[in-house]
Structure 1
Amino acid sequence: MRAVHFSQPEYARRFQCIGSSCEEDCCSGWQVTVDKPSYDRFKAIDDDELRPIFEQHLQPLTEQQKQQHPSVFAIIQMLPSGACPFLSTERLCSIQLKRGPESLCKTCATFPRMPRVIDEKHETALSLSCPEAARIVLLEEDLQISSPDSTPLLWDDQAPPAPEVRNYFWHIREFTIQLLRNRSYLLWQRLFLLGTFARRLDAIGHGQLERGFPSFLLDFENAIASGRLHASMETIPPNLPLQLDLLITMINLRLGAPLVSRRLLETIEDFGKGIGHLPGVTTAMLAARYDAAWQQYAKPFFEQHPHFLENYLINQVYRNLFPFGEELFRPGAIQEPAKHFARLAIHYSLIKGVLIGVAGCYQKNFSLEIAVKTVQSLYRNFEHHAKFLDDIQMLLAERGLDNAYGLTMLLRN
């Protein structure tokens, strides 16, 4: 028996939309999905200004598309500029202005909140695509996480060695949050340990580990608490040329796709300046500039603000239901904790790497405000493009880096 805290991201309750004051509105640059009740409500609106826009831009999915996305009935087709056709000249939603917030579709009414119900418990994380949400998450020195109750959960130490690891979701979450906040280890080391943990979960789920989850978790926690893992991790040398090559490849993949925002282009320009990315510059020269930006500007910044990237990772744990993803809600779904860790590591390494370059650009003027803009612009343009993750994981596989070594090279500076 073990008492487990059902932690929830309390900080999400603080979010309030700042409307036209926002640096980058949420009504441009992506596809807005519409559920069936909202679609019916839209079609019934009798308004001379709104009706023609609904008729032209509200597009139902095909039957095949509806089967693939059961919760989606239609999409709002964006203008050629990428903006929503309902966006007013004051950068506000004309549907809400004329009909009230209750008329919005579910997507628009909740974003950037990510509400879910897990085991009858309601929780909400935030999408950092929204500048205000990014500030709430990244700037809080002690990120507010509530534990509404602590409940003893039974587990059978004599259970077969291949139980359904989803049954231990709350134990896994509690361990993950505690590990990410354990500053006795460097952040890349915490992620290294989390990756090891995720791969062991895979092995337990496939019956490849000759022990059950309870005894494994206890031994893993004891090993972390003892501190004896520090020495072995410190022997892993960084490979900055490889890290930088993968980072630039990730950036170029996204820049070659449609709907790239102005803020992202500004961020990537700053990153390039920070590492001296000019025609004819060798990889070795870039890696030296990248390392200098880390040592002189980024590393001191993160040492002064250790909560910044920790908070990003903690919000990702909630936002993406780590380490199960949406498979958490699908009975019989194949659970792939190692795959979900790889996705977490890829996004983190992208954000950390670009922050290093941007810090090199601004040097002593690098600030929390610039760091928040960097994360938000990357998050908005990468997090919502699933193909990006698929392409990067395929690239890692082709290079033989879809393993503990490859992911560590992305994390280690």
Structure 2
Amino acid sequence: MSNKTRKILQPEYMENFHCIGTDCEETCCAAWRIVIDKDTYQKYRQCPDKDLRNKLKDGVTRIRTDASDINYAKIRLNPDDGMCPLLDSDKLCSLQRKLGEEYLSVTCSSYPRLTNIVNGVAEKVLTVSCPEAARVVLLNPDLMEFEENYEDMGIRNTQLIVFEPEKSKIVHPFLRYFWEVRIFIISLLQNRTYKLWQRMVILGLFCRSLDQHISENNSQAIPNLITTYLNYLDSGEFLKELNAIPNEYTIQMKLMKEIADYRLVKTGVTERYLKCFAECLEGIQYTDENTVEEIGQYYAEAYVKYYQPFMEDHEYILENYLVNDVFTNLFPFVGAKHIFDNYVMLVVKYSMIKMLLIGMAGLHKEKFNTEHVIILIQSFTKMVAHDVAFLITIFQLLESSNFNTMPYMAILAKN
């Protein structure tokens, strides 16, 4: 480690996370792409252990398309079980056991920690695709808080996004309000005066207005927009419009079919996710024999009888998920070209998680608990939310059906 430090911004929960090793329900070394940085790849070529050197030669291959110093090579997973070939019988890394942590790649040494660089400041966060990280991030009933701290410059981080709104605000004037928008969105998602689905709908209205101001080159109106929404939130101005949103399950059933089709063609799907998905289908009696209307009726029953009563006391779990996602992905400024498209993708993830949980609640009934929620969100994040291609497919599905509009997003968020 060096004597130099760098400034970091992170949720307070970061201090509470520790890898639990062999006690973990899953391995982070399976079922997805594991990239190797250039420095580590070159170190592997000089590996002092002969057996490991042979395994590395066979198991690590160069990335030939769009490679970088970070994404320089990748591990070739075992074709039979999707596991990293360097795992030992305890499902721990044999490379680390024999040669130490310094032989791990940046990805392997830092996961599930992710880092963004925003205006030169490192922002650190946990991804909930790790079971223990999911518990640390999601199960705190208090509002998620953030803190400034310092860390040793020698600590290696998996760098996700480099974003410099201060430098970009000349070309994109709206970015001068990056922090004002970001703080408003997180405070909105944590405003427990409103139900979470209501906060999501209000967020959509805000993003739509924000998009309009940006398209009209009217970024100077953004502070007034935030003030207006804060006043509306305080006065309850939104409640009449929110109460008028209908109950409609057609979109959910379309999403369910898309997820079912995806499950059939996706390779490397974890048993945890497949189990959750099967429980959801069983809980709403999603079969070829039942009509969409019948399935929708079972879905509504599961929501009212089992999911809703549970979430009255545990809605903070999904709130934490959304706040963590917003902070991680620098929402709404990074991603798609338009602000509202980024909102659509956030609603897609939120509504898919909620839909799957509703089905699981229908199966487990009064026994539905936080463990079911953690298992679903963790496995969903690992198999679906990290799969950009699948999320794009879902977005295109909504777009082709003209569902990527505020009225439909409100229905998805509510139900």
TM exceeds 0.5?
Answer: yes
Identity %: 34
Q: Structure 2 counterpart of 1:342, which letter? A: V
Q: Is the 8 A contact 1:9 1:318 kept in 2?
A: no
Amino acid at match of 2:184: F
Question: Could you tell me which amino acid in structure 1 is paired with residue 91 of structure 2?
Answer: R
SS at structure 2 position matched to 1:65: coil
Tell me, in whole angstroms, the C-alpha distance in 1 between the residues paired with 2:297 and 2:269: 29
CA distance change for structure 1 residues 254 and 175 in 2, over 3 Å: closer, same or farther? farther
Instruction: Find the partner of 2:47 among 45, 54, 66.
Output: 45
> Which secondary structure does the structure 1 equivalent of 2:114 belong to?
strand
User: 1:165 touches 1:201 (CA, 8 Å); kept in 2?
Assistant: no
Inter-partner Cα distance in structure 2 for 1:258 and 1:44: 33
1:337 corresponds in structure 2 to 339
1:288 aligns with 2:297: yes
* 1:156 corresponding residue in structure 2: none
| Equivalent residues of 2:35, 2:71 under 8 A apart | yes
Post-superposition Cα deviations, 1:209-228, rounded to whole Å, max 9, x if no partner, equal 58521122211221222111
- List aligned pairs for 1:139-158, cutoff 5 A: 139-148=139-148
- For structure 1, list consecutive stretches of 5 or more residues without a partner in the other structure: 1-5, 150-158, 328-333
Matches within 5 A, 1:209-228: 209=218, 212-228=221-237
Contact 2:174 2:220 in 1 (8 A): no
Residue 73 of structure 1, CA deviation: 0.8
Residue by residue over 1:60-81, the C-alpha shift from the partner in whole angstroms, topping out at 9 and shown as x without a partner, is 111x422xx5631111111102
**Inter-partner Cα distance in structure 1 for 2:264 and 2:331:** 27
Name 1:361's counterpart in structure 2.
363
Residue in structure 2 matching 1:314, options 323, 326, 332? 323
Kindly state the Cα deviation for residue 410 of structure 1 after the two structures are TM-superposed. Answer: 1.5
Match of 2:312 among 303, 309, 314: 303
After superposition, the C-alpha distances for 1:21-50 in whole angstroms (9 at most, x for unaligned) are: 111110000110111111112212111121
Name the Cα RMSD after superposition. 2.1
Task: Confirm whether residue 109 of structure 1 aligns to residue 118 of structure 2.
Answer: no
Which residue does the alignment assign to 1:389? Answer: 391
Give 1:124's aligned residue.
124
Whether the aligned pair in 1 keeps the contact of 2:135 and 2:374 (CA below 8 Å) is yes
Answer whether contact 1:274 1:361 (CA < 8 A) is retained: yes
Aligned-partner Cα distance in 2 for 1:138–1:317: 14
CA distance in 2, matches of 1:259, 1:271: 20
Name the structure 1 match of 2:267: 258
Q: 1 CA distance for matches of 2:193 and 2:72?
A: 49
Three-state SS of the structure 2 residue aligned to 1:8 is strand
Q: Kindly state the Cα deviation for residue 254 of structure 1 after the two structures are TM-superposed.
A: 3.9
Task: Return the letter of the residue paired with 2:270.
Answer: S
The AA in structure 2 aligned to 1:353 is M
Which residue of the partner structure matches residue 402 of structure 1?
Answer: 404
SS of match in other structure, 2:123: strand
Q: What does residue 330 of structure 1 align with?
A: none
Q: 2:380 aligns with which of 371, 378, 381?
A: 378
Q: Please tell me whether residue 71 in structure 1 is matched to residue 70 in structure 2.
A: yes
1:16 positional shift: 0.9
Give the conservation status (yes or no) of the 8 Å contact 1:129–1:376.
yes
Q: Which amino acid is 1:72 matched to?
A: N
Structure 1 runs of 4+ with >3 Å offset: 208-211
TM-score w.r.t. length of structure 1: 0.89
Given that residues 116 and 124 in structure 2 are in contact (C-alpha distance below 8 angstroms), is that contact kept between their aligned partners in structure 1?
yes
Q: Distance in 1 between matches of 2:246 and 2:9?
A: 35
Counterparts of 2:196 and 2:227 in 1: how far apart (Å)? 22
The TM-score with structure 2 as length reference comes to 0.89
Unaligned runs of 5+ in 2: 1-7, 150-168
TM-superposition CA deviations, 1:357-392 (whole Å, max 9, x none): 001110011111111111111111101111111111
Structure 1 distance, partners of 2:412, 2:262, is 17
